[in-house]
Structure 1
Amino acid sequence: MNIPTATGAQAVDPQTAAAADPQAATDEGRFHGKAAALLITTLVLAVLAFQLNASMITPALPHIGSFFGETPEAVAQVQSMFFLAGAISGPVIGRWSDFIGRRNALLLVLAIMGAGTVLCIFAPSLPLLVAGRFMQGVSSAIFALSYIVLNEYLPARLFGTSIGIIAAINGGVGGVDGYFGGLMAETLGFQSIFVAVLVLAAIAVVCVIKVVPGGKSAVAPGRMDWWGAGSLSVFLVFITYFVSTGSSAGWTSPAALGLLAGSIASFTAFWLIEKKRETPLVAVHHLRSRQVWPVIATTVLTLAGIFAIINFTVVLLSQDKENGFGLSASVAALLFLTPAALIGVFAAPLAGWIADRRGWIKTVRVGTATSLACAIAAALFAHNQIAVLIAIAALGIFYNGFFLTAINGLSVLLSPKEAPAALPGINGASFGIGASLGVVVVAPFAGLGTAGGYSTALWISVSITALAFIVSLFIAAPKGEKI
């Protein structure tokens, strides 16, 4: 039966697809053939609308500062508030989708992002632009929502590959999106980037309405835990600012200690609230289980280790003329950033295909272990440009491909049955926390600009990644299940 929409369009549901094409869907309501391809394409468009907001704006930040006459420190809020909103929206909107339905949640975040994009296009001041960026950041929840939709509507044999396709976009469009973002900012103004994103978001909205099934998800009845969502959001804000403040003002500064106290208090409040709710954001006993906490910890630690290597330490090392490789910014990006991103685009779907057949937990461990090996190689041969280049390119396979795909798929498969969106949402927030933590931990050493400083930073990242691998060994499937 078709599901009517507010605009008069009709969504394609599995039963309709099966009637039109016997190969399109099974009696169990899973998409096959063209219906599956349309669903995956729709989610790719929705994810791209978010990802381009992240990657294309980075090279445009100097132009934004010049346009508004603001300092780099002030302009940094354009990105920081965007990612902060993303960290909050994933757990909250992901869990809310258990009650309002996946399609409604997708349309909600795309609408908020669209409104924020319009504000960014016409913003007369930097504060209003930052407000628009915060609204755009809410669309980060699209990743978690997409993973859940794929699990609910695709057969098991297509789930892994489709997760890989979505995860591949998490690193950008093969590394070329940042280049085009800079080019558009230079020739047409930074507002042109937002116009392009708005057009893409509008196309994604139409596709979601027509392709993603409507109705509510088949989860346990109940109501959204807004108290739990609020306390978790406060915790994420506190912990984010604690990490950034600690790195700049010192970990024992009054501001950092105050934020640490706020982090502890808000997480304690979240824990106590969840113990008393009938339908919590995520039940406390799940937070203690080996299906939840090791997944979150593995994500945080792996991001802290590997992200800092690729996006911070090696960036500084490659452009250092005295103690590094002395490359220009553009050449450094072309050699050390683009290959890993491009390789990841092809490796991620393959990783998902392998995970479906060899096991998701095993694939996470393989991805973490091989990423650790690449990190060790980079640290051992930090003085050798070719060796570092090969190590970072290999991370395109094992980190961008295997780890990111497997950990995202695993978060869906291990999420509590009564709260299927809980773990994907929280795990999504863990990406930003891990990336920020890794950078601030190695920054004092890599920032020295010495050979010893770069080496120390790389070995710190190796140690963190080694801890991530150890934690991944604690991940376990529920009894009687093989994942």
Structure 2
Amino acid sequence: MNTPVTASISPPTAVESETDVNRLAGRPAALLISTLLLGVLSFQLNASMVTPALPQIAASFGQAPDAAAPVQSMFFLAGAIAGPVIGRWSDFIGRRAALLLVLAIMGTGTILCIAAPTLPLLITGRFLQGVSSAVFALSYIVLSENLQPRVFGTSVGIIAAINGGIGGVDGYVGGLMSETLGFRSIFVVVLVLTAVAAGCILRTVPKGRPQHVRGAMDWWGAGSLSVFLVFITYFVSGGSAAGWTAPGTLALLAGTIASFAAFWMIEKRRSHPLIAVHHLRSRQVWPVIATTVLTLAGIFAVMNFTVVLLSQDKGSGFGLSPSLSALLFLTPAALIGVFAAPLAGWLAGRRGWIKTLRTGTALSLACAVAAALFSGNQVAVMIAVASLGIFYNGLFLTAINGLSVLLSPKEAPASLPSINGASFGIGASLGVVIVAPFAAQATSAGYATALWISAAITAAAFIVSLFVAAPKGETL
């Protein structure tokens, strides 16, 4: 691609210089970023701090450990549904109102988790908490609409840096709190943080709705998209558990196809759709979503599944304890990403979002290939996974989140970042179920095969990234 390509969709983003004088910089910008960071942390701590407490949660209700699985799965399912719906609704009710709604729902769910006398009620609370996933997309949109261009890129990186946790420390603290104070203490911390975040949002996030958005919320489109997301989530998990040719899995596949077809037909007939069909077909939308799904499918499975099993396997792997495995293979990438993501945002704002995306995807691919080539060498795999802290947690996540805002349709500025946010969970789940049969063999060849499959998926992601159109004012 040697010829410049400019996006035909012009969202109300930080690239529009004529509005720069009304945008924030300096101390007001720092206050806004800090406020949104509190909201994002409310979600992230809900995800990461609860994970090590799952065995205790099950035991406290007299259940086997596997009974706690819905505590997390329902949390992330709610996030996948709520992101596109509330994100798009914010175009009509305003960003601040949407953020406060999300935090109110999460707060209600957190109180239910604290007081829940039974496991089903706690799972219900976790579902309500999962709605807070929408805060990520909403934060990116607020930053885009209110910050000057030279601040926007770095701010996206700061928010994206929290996507993988607080340098791996949050998971450790969650486990420590669970052991010493009980798992409900985690929810008390989350509730306090949620209340503080809501108060700060009231003071710093501007009121009102985007002036250029017309029409009303497309609830039919939101409903059909939600049904599709539920079906595809259970299809992926069902295929992994029961087999891809099992009758139940095939029924879920049929439901997935039918619900997407229904969503497509509904959107074609709506005057103000959730996202117009012609946008879904455009290079501003589908390559962004596909790049997200494929990259998550490739890299998430490497970092959070295959390498974890490999490092703890005493027969064919490195034979490490769970805690040492996390310290050597999970913490470095998370910690590096905290510092790399803001730098990646600064770089994207100056060198180009498309270049940053493709560089991050290509170098993440190189790391996946290195891990596959030297899967028997503990030091080599450690270096490869740690490097993903720069290239995946830093460059890729920052660039793809920024582009989802910059390329979203002008008449529906929250649609693409919201739908793209839902794609993260789909991609991560898909990657794990694809490589699981090979990694589960617990052999050197099985681990190597799983890593090579992840590398191949990441290569496909890089190819798709070549089709992503450039934001307004940026050339390829």
Q: Per the shorter chain, which TM-score range?
A: over 0.9
2:466 counterpart of 1:473: yes
- Paired with 1:293 and 1:207, the residues of 2 have a C-alpha distance of 35
- The answer for the alignment partner of 1:230 in structure 2 is 223
**Where does 1:29-428 land on structure 2 (aligned, <5 Å)?**
29-428=22-421
Residue deviations 1:257-316 (CA, integer Å, cap 9, x gap) = 000000000000000000111110000000000010000000000000000000000000
TM-score when scaled to structure 1? 0.94
Structure 2 contact 45–170 (Cα < 8 Å) conserved = yes
Instruction: State how far apart, in whole Å, the 2-side matches of 1:125 and 1:211 are.
Output: 38
SS in 2 for 1:90: helix
CA distance in 1, matches of 2:337, 2:261: 38
Q: Which runs of 5+ in 1 are unaligned?
A: 1-25
Contact 2:297/2:457 (CA < 8 Å) preserved in 1? yes
Using the TM superposition, name which of 472-481 and 180-189 deviates more.
472-481
CA 437–27 in structure 1, closer or farther in 2 if over 3 Å, else same: closer
Which structure 2 segments of 5+ residues have no match?
1-18
Deviation at residue 479 of structure 1 after TM alignment: 7.5
Q: CA deviation at 1:217?
A: 1.7
In structure 1, what is the Cα distance between the partners aligned to 2:353 and 2:290? Answer: 16
Q: What is the rounded CA distance, in whole Å, between the counterparts of 2:37 and 2:79 in structure 1?
A: 18
**Structure 2: how far apart are the matches of 1:350 and 1:69?**
47
> What whole-Å deviation, never above 9, does each CA across 1:241-261 have from its counterpart, x for those lacking one?
000000110101000000000
The AA in structure 2 aligned to 1:105 is A
What is the deviation of 1:31? 1.1
Q: Is the 8 A contact 1:98 1:219 kept in 2?
A: no
Q: Summarize the Cα distance change of 1:210–1:476 in structure 2 as closer, same or farther, 3 Å threshold.
A: same
Change (3 A) 1:478 1:207: closer
Name the CA distance, whole Å, in 2 between partners of 1:409 and 1:163: 6
Distance 2:43 2:211 in 1: 27
Q: How many residues align?
A: 458
Distance 2:340 2:423 in 1: 22
Partner of 2:10: none
Is the CA contact (8 Å cut-off) linking 2:20 and 2:149 kept in structure 1? Answer: no
Partners of 2:474 and 2:326 lie apart in 1 by: 43
| The 10-residue stretch of structure 1 (205-214 or 26-35) with the greater mean CA deviation from structure 2 | 26-35
Distance (whole Å) between structure 1 residues aligned to residue 472 and residue 114 of structure 2: 52
1-structure distance, mates of 2:169, 2:471: 41
Residue in 2 that maps onto 1:429: 422
Aligned-residue Cα RMSD (Å) equals 1.1
Q: Runs of at least 4 residues of structure 1 off by over 6 A? A: none
Question: Which structure's relative contact order is higher, taking Cα pairs within 8 Å and 6+ residues apart?
Answer: 2
User: 2: CA distance between counterparts of 1:149 and 1:28?
Assistant: 16
**CA deviation vs aligned residue, 1:119-163 (integer Å, no higher than 9, x gap):** 000001110000000000000000000000000000000000000
Residue pair 2:406, 2:471 contacting (<8 A) in 1 also: no
TM-score by length of 2: 0.95
1:71 deviation in Å?
2.2
